[in-house]
Amino acid sequence: MAVTIRDVAKRAGVSPSTASRALNGKGRMRPETRARILRAARELGYRPNVHARGLATRVTGCIGVVIAARHLPVERSFYGLVLEAIESTLDQEGYHVVFSVLRDQSPPKCAQEGRVDGLAILGTDIGPELVLPLRKQLPLVLVDHAIPGVDSVLPDSESGARAAVEHLLSHGHKEIAFIAETLADPSFARRLAGYREALADHGLPYREELVAEGGRRPQSWRPAMEKLLRLRKLPTAIFAANDSMAIGAMRVLQERGIPVPEEVAVVGFDDGDLAPYVTPPLTSVFVPRWEMGEVAARRLLELVRGEEPRARQVMLATELVVRRSCGCGGG
């Protein structure tokens, strides 16, 4: 049997309730009594029982992190780093992470069972019909997704996309394609919006035929690129909604002997781990994934602690990282 608060109390010569107060730093008490109790706890290696405490306080000390199955495998996912950042931030505050994959559109079990005090939801595959009822149950923060009235943290995709396209425009490109896995994903849709804005700002028309989706299959860049390759005239630049599409596009181009960036420039989005290592190194829009996780975790802690109930949407700055795939000389 593990050491309980009664053992600590007995050893310190006080009652369990006094021990409880000392251990939790609540109420006033004589410093020496407190010290005696803390010492006893230390000597005994006392660890409060999570369940007993949870039962009494209705607090779990856990935050659920939910990711949709579509974003798996974690190791290739945009959200891997976000997960780590959340874990790291919560760990420092004594909270734990319950990691859970959403395989269908039913609410995560960890929330249903009351195992967590709050929820971070990664990605856009979880709609309002699921989120809104959940939000009434417990604090909740969306990461990389926005639903009105719900706390969220996401990157400034539009500005990032605009910066990318403007960079290509400044290279003199006039025919810039946009490719994405799917435009049904709001995150990618925002990148498309930025692309359109940049074109419009420069008086260029938006041309449907230069926009291609690949679908959610693996290697989804192939169908997208096929559409572009069927054009009478290849665009001189491709802006991809994420790095994986960009790298796939480069692969297809190189397979056909089309040199990148000489014939076709390529710019990606996310600035993931691979970007510096592909050939040529990929120019990409940096997304502060770690920071997204950190901000989400901190917000969740605030909510769990009952502060500031008004929903807040945090948008983090992105930044174009110039390498060589856009035609610049850099690293």
Partner DNA sequence: CTGTTAGCGCATTCAA
Partner DNA sequence: TTGAATGCGCTAACAG
Residue 115 in contact with DNA, rule: CB under 7 A: no
Residue 83 in contact with its own copies, rule: CB under 8 A: yes
CA dihedral sign of residues 25, 29, 32, 37: negative
Considering CB distances under 5 to 8 angstroms, the limit depending on partner class, which of its own copies, DNA, none binds residue 27?
DNA
Which C-beta is closer to its own copies: that of 67 or that of 198?
A: 67
Residue 227 in contact with its own copies, rule: CB under 8 A: no
Strands 283-286 and 265-270, by their bridges, are parallel
Six token digits for residue 179:
């490719």
Strand order in the sheet with 176-180: 211-213, 176-180, 237-240, 265-270, 283-286, 319-321
CA 296 to CA 118: how far, in whole Å? Answer: 11
Judge contact between 205 and 154, C-beta under 8 A.
Answer: no
Q: Which residues contact 91 (CB under 8 A, 6 or more apart)?
A: 97
From 107-115, 162-170, 175-183, 320-328, span contacting its own copies (CB under 8 A) = 107-115
Which C-beta is closer to its own copies: that of 39 or that of 103?
A: 103
Residue 56 in contact with DNA, rule: CB under 7 A: yes
Six token digits for residue 206:
């938006």
Residue 27 in contact with DNA, rule: CB under 7 A: yes
Shortest Cβ distance from residue 20 to DNA (Å)?
3
Q: Restricting to residues 269-308, name those near its own copies by CB under 8 A.
A: 273, 277
CA 188 to CA 125: how far, in whole Å? Answer: 13
Residue 39 in contact with DNA, rule: CB under 7 A: no
- The residue within the footprint of DNA, chosen from 24, 137, 182, 279 (CB under 7 A), is 24
Shortest Cβ distance from residue 91 to its own copies (Å)?
7
Which C-beta is closer to its own copies: that of 19 or that of 168?
A: 19
CA 38 to CA 57: how far, in whole Å? Answer: 21
Six token digits for residue 22:
């000392």
Q: Which residues contact 301 (CB under 8 A, 6 or more apart)?
A: 90, 93, 95
- The residue within the footprint of DNA, chosen from 53, 70, 96, 115 (CB under 7 A), is 53
Six token digits for residue 122:
């990664």
Six token digits for residue 301:
């802690």
Shortest Cβ distance from residue 42 to DNA (Å)?
14
Name the site residues for its own copies (rule: CB under 8 A): 2, 47-52, 54-55, 60-62, 65, 72-77, 80-81, 83-84, 87-88, 91, 94, 96-101, 103, 109-110, 112-115, 251, 273, 277
Name the site residues for DNA (rule: CB under 7 A): 1-2, 4-6, 13-18, 20-21, 23-24, 26-30, 33-34, 46-49, 52-53, 55-57
